[in-house]
Structure 1
Amino acid sequence: MSRKQFCTKSDIIKFIDENKIEMVNFMYPAADGRLKTLNFVVTDQLYLESILTNGERVDGSSLFPFIGSGSSDLYVVPRFRTAFIDPCSEIPTLCLLCSYFDKDGNRLESSAEYALHKAAKVFTEETGLVMEAMGELEYYVIESVENTGEIFPVADQRGYHESAPFAKLNEFRMDCMRKIAKAGGMIKYGHSEVGNFTRNGKVYEQNEIEFLPTDLESAADQIVIAKYIIRNLAYSYGLEVSFAPKIITGEAGSGMHVHMRFIKDGKNITMENNELSTTARKAIAGLITLAPSITAFGNTNPTSYFRLVPHQEAPTNICWGDRNRSVLIRVPLGWNMSQCMSSVVNPCAEVEKGDTSMKPTFEMRSPDGSADIYQLLAGLCVACRYGITMSDEEALAIAERTYVDVNIHSAEHKHKLEALQSLPDSCAASAVCLQEQRAVYEQHSVFGASMIDGIIRKLESYRDGNLRQDIKDTPALMTNLVREFFHCG
C-alpha cells in the first residue's frame, strides 16, 4: 500500500470504508524516540471526520521532560501521507503518524519532527537543492540456544551476509522486510551482519535492513515505523530485538549509518564527470566541521561510545574517504565504470549501460540506533547546508585536509591517525561540543534554543566523562548499562 494514495481526508475515509478498517491509530514519537499510540475505534463517521481534521489532545508532560504538568496539553494532528495498515495487528487497523501542536494551534517548536521539517525547508531555500537520505538499520536478534541448536555454527564476528542454516534468523528478517514494505517502507535490501555470538545460553545474530533514499521527512518516518514493526514481530515470534549501539565488549556494535544525496531538477548531483561533485565535497566539509556536535544527535546514551572504538568498523576520528570503512564519512562505489558488467558474465546478454545516476551517495558512519532519527537528520541537514554555503575555497580546503585513503588504524599509518581530530568519547564530551557549535543549528530557528538546552541537559545527566576508565575498573558496570539501554531508540 503506497502512502502516496493518501493526500486528503476523503482519501483516508474512503479507504477505511472500502477496506473495512475497524481501528485508527494516531502514532507520534516522544522524547525516547519511540512511537506512542492513541487508539480510536471506527464506529461513527462524524467522529472519524472530526479526529482526522482536528486531531486529539495528549499529555505533553508524560511524553517530554521539558513540558511541565501545569500546562502540558498538546494536540496531535495526523499527516495523511503517512497512513499505513498495521501489518502486526489482527484487527484491521490504519495508522497515521502525527505532528505536535501547542495550545495556540502552532507547530510545537521543540518537536524533533518539526525541526526536521524546518531543516529541509531552509536547506532548499538556501541552496536550491533537495536533500535526500536513507538509513541503514542494524539490530541484534536474540534467541535461546535451545531453539536454534548448536549445529551449523558460525565463528564469532563472521556473520556478514551469511546464509541459512549458518544464519538462523534470516526468515525473521525477511518477514520484517515484507511487513515494512507493506507499510510503505522503501527497502533497498536486507542481510545478516558481521556480529554473531553466543552468551549464557542465548544466540545473538546481527541483522541489517537498508532503505532507499527519499526526502528527509519520509526517510525518518520509515525508520521509526520499521523499528515499530521489527519489535512487534519479534514479540510475536518470541524473540528479543535490540537496536542498542553496544551489547557486549569485544563484539560488533550496531550503527545506523545515514546515506545522503542532493537532487536538482530531478537529477542526482552528488557525482559529476565520474567524480564526487563540488557540492558533495562542500557538504562533507560541513559534516566534518560539525561532526563533534553531530554525536549529540546520533549517539545519545553512554553505551554509544563503546561502539566508537578502533577495529570494529566504527569511526573514531573525523575524516572521510572513498570506499574506506575506517573513516567517519565514506563515499561508496558509485557505478562509474565504463563497461557493462552484466555482459561480461552473461555473454548472450545485450551490452548496455543502465542508468545508475541516482545511485551515488555518501555515508555518515557515526550514528547509532539510540538516535532520535528526526533530530539526527535535521542535524545532518544543517551540517550539509553549512558546508554548501561556505566559500569554495574554505570548504574544499577542509575536505582536502581531512581526506584519508588508508586504514587509519593500521600501525604503519599511525602518523595519519594522530593528525586527525577524534570524535567525542562520551555523552559529556558531546554536550560540550554541542554547546560550542549550537549557534549553527539555531540559525533560521531550525533547532530552538530550548531543544538544544534539553539535549545538552540529557547528555550531561549521564555523568559519563570517565566512563571508559570506570568500566576497566568495574566491568559489571558495562552489563548494567547494556541492560538499562537495551531498548533505546
Structure 2
Amino acid sequence: MAKTITADDIRQSVADNDVRFLRLAFTDINGTSKAVEVPNSQLEKVLSNDIRFDGSSIDGFVRLEESDMVLYPDFSTWAVLPWTDSQGGKIGRLICSVHTTDGKPFAGDPRNNLKRVVEEMKTMGFSAFDIGFEAEFHLLKLDENGDWTTQVPDHASYFDMTSNDESASCRREIVETLESIGFEVEAAHHEVGDGQQEIDFKFDDALTTADRVQTFKMVVREVARKHNLFATFMAKPLQGQAGNGMHTNMSLFKDGKNAFYDKNNEYHLSNTALYFLNGILTHARAITAIGNPTVNSYKRLIPGFEAPVYISWASKNRSPMIRIPSAEEINTRLEMRSADPTANPYLLLAACLTAGLDGIKKQEMPMDPITSNLFEMSEEKREELGIKPLPATLHSALKAFKADKLIQDALGDHLSSSFISSKELEWAQYTQTVSDWERNKYMGY
C-alpha cells in the first residue's frame, strides 16, 4: 500500500535535497505523461492544491471556454528525481489528480476515474485490486542528429547472458535509477527480440502500480538517452521481430487474503477468480480497444510471436489471452497477455476491474481452459470450442468498445466520448496514409 508522506515531509525533503523545481505530473486520455513544472518558491501553493493550468490544450480534457484545471498532488508519490537541472539543483516529482476550479474531481482525468472504480470495488467487500505490469520495451540506436533509428544495439535473445554491451549497461542503470526512487525491482532481462528488454517491479494496488508504470516509462527514456539510445514502448517497432507486450497480472484481496485462491479448486483458483475471469473474457473485445489502443498494436496481435490472438484461457499454455501462472497463495493471479505498453494504465485497469466485478456479480463460469496450441488448431475446432478471435484492427476494436455499455461505463461518459473521438481520428489518419509497401506493391499497376 502507499506509504504515508505529509506536507512537512515534502518540505523537509525539498530543503535536504536542494530541490529547486517541482514537477507536477498527470496523464492524458492517450496515456501520455504530462507535467507542469514550477520553481520551489511555489511549494506552498503546490501543497495547498493551488496550481492551475489550461486543460483545453490536453487531449481529451475540456473545451476552450471551460479550460481552467487545478492539480491536486498525491503526497504518497513524492520522489526526488535522480538527475539535476542545469545549475545542479534537484527536481522533485508529485503525481497529481486533476480537479475543476470548484474542487471536484475532473471526470476526464484517467487517474480520477480509476479511483472511482476502485471505490466501487470496495462497496463489494474487496479491499484491494493488486496489479503487476510487465512492460516490455526496445532500445534503438540514435543517429548523429540524436534522432531514433531502427538499428538495434544488440542481437541477443530471451534471457541471454550479456555483460558489457550497450543494452545490458543501460538496463542496469535503469534498475539502479528505479531503486533510487523507491521501486523494488524483482527482475531484469533481455527479451526475445533484438534490442528488446523487460524490467519487472513489485506488485501493488492498482492506483500505485498505474502511477509506477508512468514513472517507469519516464526513467527508461531518460536513462536510455544518457546511453545514446532511444527507448520505445511501441507495440511493434521492428518488422519481423517480437512486439512489446504489457502482461497485466491481476488479483483481488478481501479481509487481508487473496480472494482468487482456493486450495481445493483446480489450478487453486477460487470461484471468485473464475467469475472474474469470465467477466474479462466476456468483454475482451471492448477491453482490447483500451489495452491495444494504436493502429500499430494490431501488428503485434498476430500468430507466430507469442502474443495472443484468441479469447480464451489456460494454465501452462501461453497461446490464450489469459494464463494462470503457477504460484503460492499470495501470488495466485490472472495474467492477461493481450495488452501492450501503449495502453493508458489507468483506463486499462478501470476496464478490467469493471469487467471482472461484473463477472463476480453474474457468477457465471468461463469456458473450459485450452490445453493445446491455439495457433495450430483448425478454425473448425476453434468454432466448435466457442473460441472467438480478438479484434484484428483498431477499427474493429473500437466498434466493439462502442457496442459494450459496461466498458464505456468503466470509463464514464467524458472519457468514453474522448477516447472514441481520439481513436476515430487516429484510424481516419491511418487509412489516408500511403505507405512505402503500397508504392512498391502497386506503383506499376
TM-score, normalized by length of structure 2? 0.88
Pick aligned residue for 1:267 from 240, 257, 269: 257
Q: For residues 45-84 of structure 1, what are the structure 2 equivalents within 5 Å?
A: 47-84=42-79
SS of equivalent residue, structure 1 residue 405: coil
Q: Is the 8 A contact 1:3 1:184 kept in 2?
A: no
In the TM superposition, what is the alpha-carbon distance from 1:432 to its structure 2 partner? Answer: 1.0
Partner residue, 1:410: 376
In the TM superposition, what is the alpha-carbon distance from 1:178 to its structure 2 partner? Answer: 1.6
Aligned pair count reads: 425
Pick aligned residue for 2:286 from 260, 282, 293: 293
Question: Is residue 437 of structure 1 aligned with residue 404 of structure 2?
Answer: yes
SS of equivalent residue, structure 1 residue 106: coil
Distance 2:180 2:271 in 1: 38
In the TM superposition, what is the alpha-carbon distance from 1:65 to its structure 2 partner? Answer: 4.1
Distance 1:165 1:188 in 2: 19
In the TM superposition, what is the alpha-carbon distance from 1:58 to its structure 2 partner? Answer: 0.7
Question: Is residue 329 of structure 1 aligned with residue 322 of structure 2?
Answer: yes
Distance 2:2 2:401 in 1: 36
Distance 1:153 1:466 in 2: 31
Residue identity in the other structure for 1:450: H
In the TM superposition, what is the alpha-carbon distance from 1:465 to its structure 2 partner? Answer: 12
In the TM superposition, what is the alpha-carbon distance from 1:123 to its structure 2 partner? Answer: 1.1
**For structure 1, which segment, 222-231 or 34-43, has the greater mean C-alpha deviation from structure 2 after superposition?**
34-43
The superposition leaves residues 460-482 of structure 1 with CA deviations (integer Å, 9 ceiling, x where unpaired) of: 22337997xx97962779xxxxx
In the TM superposition, what is the alpha-carbon distance from 1:74 to its structure 2 partner? Answer: 0.6
The superposition leaves residues 434-463 of structure 1 with CA deviations (integer Å, 9 ceiling, x where unpaired) of: 111124541xxx522121122122222233
Partner residue, 1:421: 388
Distance 1:448 1:311 in 2: 36
Distance 2:248 2:439 in 1: 32
Gaps of 5+ in 2: 145-150
Q: For residues 24-423 of structure 1, what are the structure 2 equivalents within 5 Å?
A: 24-43=22-41, 47-89=42-84, 90-143=88-141, 154=155, 159-165=157-163, 168-196=166-194, 205-273=195-263, 275-334=268-327, 356-391=328-363, 395-396=364-365, 399=366, 401-411=367-377, 414-418=379-383, 419-423=386-390
In the TM superposition, what is the alpha-carbon distance from 1:102 to its structure 2 partner? Answer: 1.0
Judged with a 3 Å threshold, the aligned counterparts in structure 2 of structure 1 residues 23 and 281 are, in CA distance, closer, same or farther, namely: same
Partner residue, 2:3: 4
SS of equivalent residue, structure 1 residue 64: coil
In the TM superposition, what is the alpha-carbon distance from 1:235 to its structure 2 partner? Answer: 1.5
The superposition leaves residues 190-243 of structure 1 with CA deviations (integer Å, 9 ceiling, x where unpaired) of: 1110011xxxxxxxx000112222110001000000001111111222111110
SS of equivalent residue, structure 2 residue 52: strand
Residue identity in the other structure for 1:315: P
Q: Is the 8 A contact 1:176 1:233 kept in 2?
A: yes
Distance 2:223 2:25 in 1: 18
Distance 1:113 1:215 in 2: 13
Q: Is the 8 A contact 1:427 1:462 kept in 2?
A: no
Pick aligned residue for 2:15 from 14, 17, 30: 17
Q: Is the 8 A contact 1:28 1:97 kept in 2?
A: yes
Q: Is the 8 A contact 1:255 1:366 kept in 2?
A: yes
Distance 2:186 2:319 in 1: 23
Residue identity in the other structure for 1:173: R
Distance 1:222 1:452 in 2: 24
SS of equivalent residue, structure 1 residue 257: strand
**For structure 1, which segment, 229-238 or 252-261, has the greater mean C-alpha deviation from structure 2 after superposition?**
229-238
Q: Is the 8 A contact 2:132 2:209 kept in 1?
A: yes
Distance 2:98 2:189 in 1: 35
Q: Is the 8 A contact 1:167 1:192 kept in 2?
A: no
Distance 2:81 2:69 in 1: 25
Q: Is the 8 A contact 1:299 1:370 kept in 2?
A: yes
What root-mean-square deviation, in Å, do the aligned CA atoms of Structure 1 and Structure 2 show? 2.7
Pick aligned residue for 1:452 from 405, 416, 420: 416
Distance 2:299 2:293 in 1: 12
Judged with a 3 Å threshold, the aligned counterparts in structure 2 of structure 1 residues 225 and 34 are, in CA distance, closer, same or farther, namely: same
Distance 1:165 1:129 in 2: 43
In the TM superposition, what is the alpha-carbon distance from 1:357 to its structure 2 partner? Answer: 2.6
In the TM superposition, what is the alpha-carbon distance from 1:18 to its structure 2 partner? Answer: 3.0
Residue identity in the other structure for 1:359: N
Residue identity in the other structure for 2:224: A
The superposition leaves residues 101-139 of structure 1 with CA deviations (integer Å, 9 ceiling, x where unpaired) of: 112210001111011101111112124342111110100
The superposition leaves residues 324-374 of structure 1 with CA deviations (integer Å, 9 ceiling, x where unpaired) of: 21010011122xxxxxxxxxxxxxxxxxxxxx4322221111111111111
The superposition leaves residues 289-348 of structure 1 with CA deviations (integer Å, 9 ceiling, x where unpaired) of: 0101001211111000010001111011100000221010011122xxxxxxxxxxxxxx
The superposition leaves residues 148-178 of structure 1 with CA deviations (integer Å, 9 ceiling, x where unpaired) of: xx9x974xxx610111159641121121112
Partner residue, 1:346: none
Distance 2:38 2:422 in 1: 33
Distance 1:316 1:366 in 2: 8
**For structure 1, which segment, 207-216 or 220-229, has the greater mean C-alpha deviation from structure 2 after superposition?**
207-216
TM-score, normalized by length of structure 1? 0.81
Percent identity over the alignment is: 27
Distance 1:167 1:360 in 2: 36
Judged with a 3 Å threshold, the aligned counterparts in structure 2 of structure 1 residues 187 and 166 are, in CA distance, closer, same or farther, namely: closer
Q: Is the 8 A contact 1:317 1:417 kept in 2?
A: no
Residue identity in the other structure for 1:57: R
Residue identity in the other structure for 1:122: E
